[in-house]
């Protein structure tokens, strides 16, 4: 299977919504404008494509020299267990370079995934949650 990874090819809001809904990632997919703003405000996005189908995305916000918040990692369920998520995180880290760390807040169903790709769980996290 030939998967194309890209830093430049931006998906449409509809493609993102379809991917998030199919992957079960809890995001406000009923609000197309909000999804678009999420992507417009992100400065490091890596996508995975099979032909013209968006099958994976890593969406991050970073300062490039200290921290990178990995806001979304979504893989289409038909393509899971193929190393796509790991590759998206690897490409994100390569683009960041050595000065920046990657942090994230995991959905409960992915808590066992991140250690498998080399991430370390920390307990030092606080959240001032948003209003939906």
How many Cα atoms sit within 13 Å of 13 on the Cβ side? 14
The predicted structure's pLDDT at residue 73: 97
pTM higher than 0.85: yes
- Kindly report, residue by residue over 60-115, the tens digit of the pLDDT: 999 999 999 999 999 999 999 899 999 999 999 999 999 999 999 888 888 899 99
- CA-to-CA distance for 19 and 35, rounded, in angstroms? 12
The answer to whether 74 and 19 are in contact (CB under 8 A) is yes
Q: Locate tokens 């370390």: which residue? A: 120
Cα distance between residue 4 and residue 115, in whole Å: 25
Asked whether the predicted pLDDT for residue 56 surpasses 70, the reply is yes
Look over the chain and give the mean of its residue pLDDT values, rounded to a whole number: 93
């Amino acid at each position: 299977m030939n998967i194309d990874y890209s830093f430049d090819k931006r998906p449409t809001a509809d493609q993102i919504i379809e991917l998030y809904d199919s992957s079960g990632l809890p995001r406000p997919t009923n609000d197309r404008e909000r999804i678009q703003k999420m992507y417009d405000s992100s400065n490091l996005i890596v996508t995975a494509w099979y032909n013209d189908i968006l099958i994976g995305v890593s969406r991050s916000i970073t300062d490039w020299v200290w921290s990178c918040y990995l806001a979304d990692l979504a893989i289409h369920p038909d393509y899971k267990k193929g190393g796509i998520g790991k590759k998206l995180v690897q490409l994100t880290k390569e683009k960041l370079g050595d000065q920046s760390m990657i942090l994230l807040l995991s959905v409960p169903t992915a808590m066992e995934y991140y250690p498998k790709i080399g991430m370390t769980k920390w307990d030092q996290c606080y959240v001032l949650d948003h209003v939906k």
